[in-house]
Structure 1
Amino acid sequence: ADRLFFQDYSPAFWSEWLFLRGGETPPASLFLSMVDKGRRFASKRQITQGYADLFPRGIPNLHSLFFVLEDAINWLEEQVKSLPQPFFGYFHLLPPHEPYTTRRDFVDIFVGDGLKPPDKGDHFASQGNNQTYLNNQRREYDEYLAYADAELGILFDSLEASGALDNTYFVLTSDHGEMFERGIRGHVTTTLFDPLLHVPLLIVKPGQQTREDVYTNTSCVDLLPTFLHLTGQPIPNWAEGQVLPTFAAAEPAQDRSIFALEAKSNPKQAPLHNATATLIKDDYKLIYYTGLAKGDVYELYHVADDAEELTNLYETKPAIAADLQAELAQKLDEVNEPYQR
C-alpha cells in the first residue's frame, strides 16, 4: 500500500509503530483505509435498507451495533431447548435501551393514551429538557418496551409449550429505569430516585401456575446467593446479598438496609468523593450527594407515604436522618478503605 500511495507518510509511520509494539496494524494507507470505510458503510446501508419498512425509525442499535430482537429471541429459544442440563444462562437483551427504534406495529400505539406524568417540579439534577420533548421520548420508550415485552412473551410461550420450563427457573429483571418526569433523559444522572432504582424482578418457578406477589425490599445483589441456594451450591462469604423471600428458610428482616450507588464521574480505583449514595431502610430512603459544586446535599423521603419522593424530610426528621446518615457514612468508609492512601 505504501508503494502505491507513497505520500501517506503518517499512516505508514503509525502502522509500523503499532506493529513493532505488538499491536494490530491498521491499513498502512490513508487512501485505502478510506476506501475500506466506504465499503463497510455501503454494506451497512444495504442491510439497513432491507429493514426500513419493518423499523421506520431505524434498526435497533447500540453504539453502532445493529441487531434485530426477533433473531435474538429465536436464537435464545434454540439454546435453552438444546443446552445440556444443568445449565445457567444469562441473556442481556438491549431493548428498551435508547435509541427507541421500535417495530412498525408498535409505533404510535400510545398516542392519545391520556397519560399525564406527575408534576414533580424542578430538581438540581434536571437537565433543562423541554417537557413536550420528554413526553414524546417517554411515549417512544413505552413503545419500545411493548415491543420487547411482546417478543419476551413469544419466548416464554415457546419454552412453556416445549416443556423446558418444567425444570427451569425463568428470571426477568433489569438494570435501571428512566426519569422523564424529572426532566432527565437517560440514566447518566446524579439522582437515585425510585423510577431509576425500582427495577422489575419476576421469577417463575418450575411448573408454577399461580401468581405470588412479594412486597419486601430486595437488591440485585440478592440474585447470586439465591441462584446458588436453588442449585445447592455454597454461598461464598464475600457475597453481600441474601436469599430472596419465598426461597429462604426464614423471612428476611424487615429493617434490612439496602444500598445503591452512582459514581460515573468518580475516578476509578479511588475513594468516592464525586458520587451519589442511597440507603433504603424500613419505610425511609436517604440520598446523599457528594462532590457537587454547592457542597454535599442530603434528601430524606418516607417512601411508604410519598412514593413519588416529592417531600424532603431531611430537615423535619433530624433523628431519623441522623441515624441513616451515620449508617451510610459507615458503609462508605468500608467501601473507601481499600483506596485510602
Structure 2
Amino acid sequence: MKIVVLGGGESGVGAAYLAKKKGLNVFLSDKGAIKNDFKKQLIDAEIEFEEGQHDEARILEADWVIKSPGIPKKADIIFKINQKGIRLSSEIEFAAEFTPAKIIAITGSNGKTTTTSLIYHILKNDNLKVGLAGNIGKSFARQVADQNFDYYVLEVSSFQLDDIQNFRPYISLLLNLSQDHLDQYNYNYEDYALAKFRIAENQENDNFFIYNKDDEMSMSLLEKLALRAKKIPFSTKEKVKEGGFVHKDKIVVKLEDEFSMKIAELSLVGNHNIANSLAASIASKILNISNESIRNSLMTFQAVEHRLEQVAQINGVTFINDSKATNVNA
C-alpha cells in the first residue's frame, strides 16, 4: 500500500513513522520548509520526503493520503486527491486503525485542551497506562508506533474530524459550540457544528457521547442526528437524572453510583471550568475510576499554560494570562 503524508510537522512525521514501522510504502511531502528536528527524524527512520514543493504525480499515485490538519480543505492538491477518489484521512484516523486501546476523544469550541489534560491527569493518577495526544503533546501516531498504552486521551479539532472515515472513540465529549473557524466552513455555523458532531458518527451503542445540555446549538443538532452511542449530559444550570450537574455548592455526577465534591475544592476556577470538571468526571466514572481518585485529581490538577493562568497579584490587582483564547466566547 502506498501511503503519502502531506505536512512535515508533528502529526505528519508521526504518521509517516507509524506507516514505516508497519512496513508500508511511505512518502512525505511538505510544500513549505521542514524543521531540522523533523527532517532528522525522517532521515533516521529512512523515510523518503520532499520539501518546498508537492510532486503531484507521485502524490496522486497514493492509495491513502494522510493530511496535516493545517492544510486547508480548499487547497488545490486536496481537490485533486478528492477528484481521484483517493482515501484522505487525518493522522488520528490513520493511527486509530493500528491500536486496540480505548480512545477518549474531546472536541468543542472552547476548553478542549484543559479538559483533555484534566482527563489525562485523572487516568494517570489512577495508574492507568494512558497516552495524551491529538492536538496536544506528542503525535498520536508516533505513540501508537512506540508505546503500548491501554487508553489514549485525544484533543480533536474540527479539521481533524473533517478527515475521518472509521474513527470510533470509546468515549467522545463535545464540550460546547460557538462560532469559530467559519472561513473553513462556508461561513456557516451549522456546518462547523456538524463537523464537531462527527466525533460521534461512528460510535455504536456500547460507546458513550458526553454533551453539554446548556449549549443551544448542541441541543438543536442532537434532535436531528441519529447518534447510536449512549448519550450522557452535563449542565451547570439544571439537574439531570443521569449525568453531571451542579447542586448548591457541589458538582454531582450520577451514573450507576454518585460522585460529588465541593466546587470550592476544585483546582480550576470559573463557571466554564465547572462544566469542564463535570465532563471529565463523567468520563472518569464511565471508566470505573474511584470517587476518591477523581476527587484527588480534581483538587491537584494545575491549569494549562496561557489559559486563565494566574500570574501575580500586585497592589490588589490580579493578573491573568489568557493568551490562548482564540475567539470572543473564549
Q: Could you tell me the TM-score, scaled by structure 2's length?
A: 0.28
Q: TM-score, normalised by structure 1?
A: 0.27
- The structure carrying a bigger strand percent of its residues is 2
Point out the structure with max Rg over C-alpha. 1
